[in-house]
Structure 1
Amino acid sequence: MFHSPVIECQGVCKAFADGDSVIKAIDQVDLEVFGGDFICLYGASGSGKTTLLNLIGGLDRPSSGEVFLDKHPLSHYSDDELTDLRLHKIGFIFQSYNLVPVFSALENVAFILQMQGFSNRDALAKSEYILQQVGLSKLMHRHPAELSGGQQQRVAIARAIVAQPKIVLADEPTANLDSKNSEQLLQLMKQLNQELGTTFIISSHDPQVIQAAERKIELADGKIIHDSLA
């Protein structure tokens, strides 16, 4: 682990209106994430794990407080600038996959690289390699509707890591995988973490993921109640 925080949350709150009441999905969270961290956010459903990931990745903006990426406050970025930031620095693995239905698995993964300016040939070659790494070499020309939930999840994972982003945010990445594929995914993420220094923040209920994490952060009612680094 390195010493300078790549992500900082300072007094971050996210509130939602629910009828006449206000629900604090995230409540006064202070957090430092360091380059090379391998973190698991865990806690009961509704504890705020997904909301915190979305705030860190700039997909959502806090009601109060500030999120910093490399010392730069995300509130100073326009929506277009945040999109560009996510394209080049942050890989996302969503619970809902977010795959493009008219693209094959290979095209879904290559699309990120093409948007970054890679040639079509290089984008496809890199994407083929990463799909082999997640065990989908024989299925890369199938469309999402022709793949199982677990296979779609592995395409989403390949897409998130193909460009070797500085940070990967993963929301329940093993939720639709069997234990063998979960273990394979964890090994791949660990390899990226150790060899490239990729920072991982993973939300999960999976004991396998929680155990594999070097740093474990427990949330309850939108607050951090335990941080193994503290």
Structure 2
Amino acid sequence: MFHPTVIECQSVCKAFADGDSVIKAIDQVDLQVYAGEFICLYGASGSGKTTLLNLIGGLDRPSSGEVFLDKHPLSHYSDDQLTDLRLHKIGFIFQSYNLVPVFSALENVSFILQMQGLSNRDAINKSEYILQQVGLQNLMHRRPAELSGGQQQRVAIARAIVAQPKIILADEPTANLDSKNSEQLMNLMHQLNRDLGSTFVISSHDPQVIEKAERKIELADGKILHDSAD
């Protein structure tokens, strides 16, 4: 079965000035990601995992090289177009959750759907269902400050997956979860990967996450050291 390329990086670099020196967070990365893949980027802290995810998702722009999404170069998109792209095609799971503190868990999830144009009732119904799927059916009216770190992470995951985006980018999604919840989360992501065909690119140094990934890409000093697809 043919799987089209959904993400491609061509000679991508991201450099930061550090005093008089330049640090290459990402250094000449070439990468192809195919529709429906379940990938883990792994490596030591500072290896470039988060930076690469941010470049793929259009949250940051490369210093040189090009990132393509569905064969379209992201450098051709304006900031507004990138925002629209992320709203409709990409789900993000951030390590720091990025939840709206004055919103309940349910409101944090449903506002994405409302921004996409769903009616309030449809957005609420869909959000309630997905919060049940991540085990938060009894906590959906609580605000982030009333939830534990692991519960906030599950709200962030529900928000990322509720609109069934084509691509889901997850930065250390199990960092604040115990091993049982980590396993449940990975099982949920695999189920979504199978059922929806969503492409997952996850950064992690959690052995449990790395083991469950179908394709494993090791980063070191901003370069791809090993790709299990090769």
Deviation at 1:89, TM superposition (A): 0.2
Q: 1:148 aligns to what? A: 148
* Structure 1 Cα separation of the partners of residues 33 and 94 of structure 2: 20
**Separation in 1 of the partners of 2:23 and 2:220?**
13
**Cα shift at 1:213:** 0.3
- Superposition deviation, residue 180 in structure 1: 1.1
Q: Which runs of 5+ in 2 are unaligned?
A: none
Counterparts of 1:81 and 1:34, CA distance in 2: 23
Is 1:11 matched with 2:11? Answer: yes
Match of 1:103 in 2: 103
* Corresponding residue of 2:190: 190
Does structure 2 retain, via aligned residues, the 8 Å contact 1:2–1:35?
no
Distance 1:15 1:9 in 2: 16
2 CA distance for matches of 1:23 and 1:190? 35
Over aligned residues, Cα RMSD in angstroms? 0.7
Over residues 53-96 of structure 1, what are the superposed CA-to-partner deviations in whole Å (9 max), with x where a residue is unaligned? 00000000000000000000000000000000000000000011
Matches within 5 A, 1:53-202: 53-202=53-202
Q: 2 CA distance for matches of 1:162 and 1:117?
A: 14
Does the alignment pair 1:220 with 2:224? no
% identity of equivalent residues:
88
- State the shift of 1:3 in Å: 2.8
Which of structure 1's runs of 4+ aligned residues deviate more than 6 A?
A: none
Scaled by the length of structure 2, what TM-score is found?
A: 0.99
Distance 2:175 2:201 in 1: 15
Q: Could you give the per-residue CA deviations for residues 167-213 of structure 1, whole angstroms, max 9, x where no partner exists?
A: 00000000001111111111111011111110000000111110000
Counterpart residue identity of residue 42, structure 1: Y
Secondary structure of the corresponding residue to residue 102 of structure 2: coil
How far does residue 4 in structure 1 lie from its aligned partner after superposition? Answer: 1.7
SS at match of 2:65: strand
Aligned length: 230
Instruction: Return the alpha-carbon distance in structure 1 between the equivalents of residues 64 and 90 of structure 2.
Output: 23
Please give the secondary structure, in 1, of the residue aligned with 2:170.
strand
Deviation at 1:2, TM superposition (A): 4.2
Q: 2 CA distance for matches of 1:222 and 1:64?
A: 14
* Matched residue type, 2:88: H
**Equivalent residue, structure 1, for 2:32:** 32
Q: Secondary structure at the match of 2:164?
A: coil
Structure 2 residue matching 1:100: 3-state secondary structure: coil
SS at match of 1:24: strand
1:2–1:34: 8 Å Cα contact kept in structure 2?
Answer: no
